[in-house]
């Protein structure tokens, strides 16, 4: 019997947290050393950041990664 592996979906609250801090995508991008397009892609769900980038984002907001990013199991 083999166990099927479910796909994981990484979801982000980055746009919400960024809005709470009243910081633009451009400002955040500059502060953490990426392009605005990267922030747009992360917020839109089209790009999952590397672990390093996720830590940089979390550090910028002085929080942990799980506050910004979380995983949902997708249905088979």
pLDDT tens, position by position, 6-23: 777 889 999 999 999 999
pLDDT score at 54: 97
- Of 46, 29, 42, 34, nearest to 69 (Cα)? 42
- Of 70, 63, 60, nearest to 12 (Cα)? 70
Whole-structure pTM value: 0.83
C-alpha distances out from residue 28 to 34, 53, 55, Å: 8, 12, 14
Domain edges within the chain: 8-69
Q: Which CATH superfamily is domain 8-69 in?
A: lambda repressor-like DNA-binding domains (1.10.260.40)
Q: Are 25 and 40 in contact (CB under 8 A)?
A: yes
What residues contact 1, with CB distance under 8 A and at least 6 apart? none
pLDDT score at 72: 79
pLDDT averaged per 10 residues in sequence order, the chain, 76 residues: 71 96 98 97 93 97 95 70
The end-to-end CA distance of the chain, in Å, is 17
């Amino acid at each position: 019997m083999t166990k099927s592996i479910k796909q994981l979906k990484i979801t982000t609250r980055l746009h919400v947290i960024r809005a709470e801090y009243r910081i633009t995508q451009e400002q955040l991008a500059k502060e953490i050393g990426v392009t605005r397009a990267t922030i747009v892609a992360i917020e839109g769900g089209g790009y999952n950041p590397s672990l390093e980038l996720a830590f940089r984002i979390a550090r910028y907001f002085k929080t942990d990664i799980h506050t910004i990013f979380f995983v949902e199991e997708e249905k088979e």
